[in-house]
Structure 1
Amino acid sequence: MTSFFKAIEDLFVNVLFAPLDAMRFMDSWWGANAINWIFMIIGAVAMVYWMLELKKYNDKGEEDQDTSAHSYL
């Protein structure tokens, strides 16, 4: 089991977090935090898309929104 956990450690430390280690010693705040901004933009776009999809289904009026629609209510 020890080798299994060491393999997981090696995967994360040496492979998946390697780009973050490369950005660690940059002098530019914008350059060092570019990956955070990219994730924030992706999250914002996904949230807007999801809200538009929810509005589309809500406008169709297909869902039963009665308070007794579920047995546990």
Structure 2
Amino acid sequence: MKDFFYGIQDLFVDYLFAPYDMLRELQLDSWFGANVVSWLFIAIFAVLFAYWMKQLSLFDPEH
């Protein structure tokens, strides 16, 4: 049973958290490069928010 939990640990630490480790190392070299992910999420949010507002305007009774 202990090997099962060590397997889960290896999966997360060695494989699934690897992108976060790369971003942490990139931050020391390039602040802009490390924050591209944040800017990407902000851009996606802005597009989705605009789409949501457009869809809400379709149901406006005074429209």
TM-score (norm 1): 0.59
2:23 partner amino acid: M
Unaligned runs of 5+ in 2: none
Counterpart residue type for residue 46 of structure 1: L
Q: Residues 1-73 of structure 1: matches in 2 within 5 Å?
A: 3=4, 7=8, 10-26=10-26, 27-59=29-61
Counting aligned pairs with the same residue, the percent is: 46
Following TM superposition, where does structure 1 have runs of at least 4 consecutive aligned residues deviating by more than 6 angstroms?
none
Deviation of the 1:11 alpha carbon = 4.9
CA 1:30–1:59 in 2, change beyond 3 Å: closer, same or farther? farther
- Would the alpha carbon gap of residues 48 and 12 (structure 1) be closer, same or farther in structure 2, given more than 3 Å must change? farther
Cα RMSD, aligned residues only: 2.8
Aligned positions, number: 60
Structure 1 position 16, deviation (Å): 3.6
Unaligned runs of 5+ in 1: 62-73
Change in Cα spacing, 1:16 to 1:57, as seen in structure 2 (3 Å) is: farther
Using structure 2 for the length normalisation, give the TM-score.
0.66
The structure with the largest alpha-carbon Rg is 1
Bigger share in helix: 2
